[in-house]
Amino acid sequence: MNSNNLDKKYVWHPYTQMKMWNNSENIVIESGKGFNFVDTKERSYLDGISNMWCNVWGHDRTEIISAMKKQLDILPHSTLFGLVNDPSVKLAKRLTNMVKGMSKVFYTDNGSTAIEAALKIATQYWNNKGKTQKKKFICLKNGYHGDTIGCMSIGYIDGYFSPYKSLLLKTIKVDSPTIRHEKFGRQNFEQYIDKIENILNRLSSKISAFVMESGAQIAAGVNIYPKNFQKEISDLCKKYDTLLILDEIATGFGRLGNMIEYKAQHSEPDIVCFAKALTGGYFPLAVTLTTNDIFKEFLGDYWAKKQLFHGHTFTGHPVGCTAALTNLDLYHKLNLIKKIRGNALVLNRLLTKFAELDICYDIRQKGLLCGIELRKGKNPIKMIEKVPIGQYIAAESLKRGVYLRTLGNIITIIPPLAIEQEDLRKLVDIEHEIVEKIQQKVRSC
Ligand X SMILES: Cc1ncc(COP(=O)(O)O)c(C=O)c1O
Is there binding between residue 275 and ligand X (CB under 6 A)? yes
Residue of 64, 118, 211, 219 that binds ligand X (CB under 6 A): 219
Residue of 146, 150, 221, 252 that binds ligand X (CB under 6 A): 146
Closest CA to 4 of 27, 32, 31, 37: 27
Of the pair 134, 145, the CB lying nearest ligand X is at 145
Shortest CB 158 distance to ligand X, Å: 17
Is there binding between residue 320 and ligand X (CB under 6 A)? no
Q: Cα(298)–Cα(284) distance, rounded to whole angstroms?
A: 27
Shortest CB 384 distance to ligand X, Å: 25
Is there binding between residue 246 and ligand X (CB under 6 A)? no
Give all strands (DSSP E) within 141-242, no chain letters: 172-174, 207-213, 216-217, 223-224
HSE of 73 in the Cβ direction (CA atoms, 13 Å)?
Answer: 5
Q: Cα(282)–Cα(327) distance, rounded to whole angstroms?
A: 9
What x/- string results for residues 48 through 87 when contact with ligand X is judged by CB under 6 A? -----x----------------------------------
Of the pair 247, 268, the CB lying nearest ligand X is at 247
Of the pair 232, 247, the CB lying nearest ligand X is at 247
Count CB neighbours of 74 within 10 A. Answer: 12
Residue nearest to ligand X (CB): 111
Q: Which residues contact 1 (CB under 8 A, 6 or more apart)?
A: 9
Of the pair 110, 343, the CB lying nearest ligand X is at 110
**In this chain, which stretch among 27-35, 180-188, 246-254, 292-300 interacts with ligand X, using CB under 6 A?**
246-254
Residue of 45, 144, 274, 392 that binds ligand X (CB under 6 A): 144
Closest CA to 251 of 278, 233, 283: 278
- Count of residues making up the chain: 445
Is there binding between residue 369 and ligand X (CB under 6 A)? no
Number of helices followed by number of strands (H, E) in the chain: 16, 20
CB 431 within 8 A of CB 371: no
First-to-last C-alpha distance (Å) of the chain = 42
Closest CA to 365 of 375, 355, 351: 351
Residue 252, amino acid: G
What x/- string results for residues 80 through 109 when contact with ligand X is judged by CB under 6 A? ------------------------------
Residue of 111, 316, 415, 416 that binds ligand X (CB under 6 A): 111
Of the pair 124, 412, the CB lying nearest ligand X is at 412
Is there binding between residue 112 and ligand X (CB under 6 A)? yes
Share in percent of the chain as helix, strand, coil (round to 5): 45, 20, 40
Is there binding between residue 390 and ligand X (CB under 6 A)? no
Is there binding between residue 145 and ligand X (CB under 6 A)? yes
The contact set with ligand X (CB under 6 A) reads 53, 110-112, 115, 144-146, 213, 218-219, 247, 249-250, 275
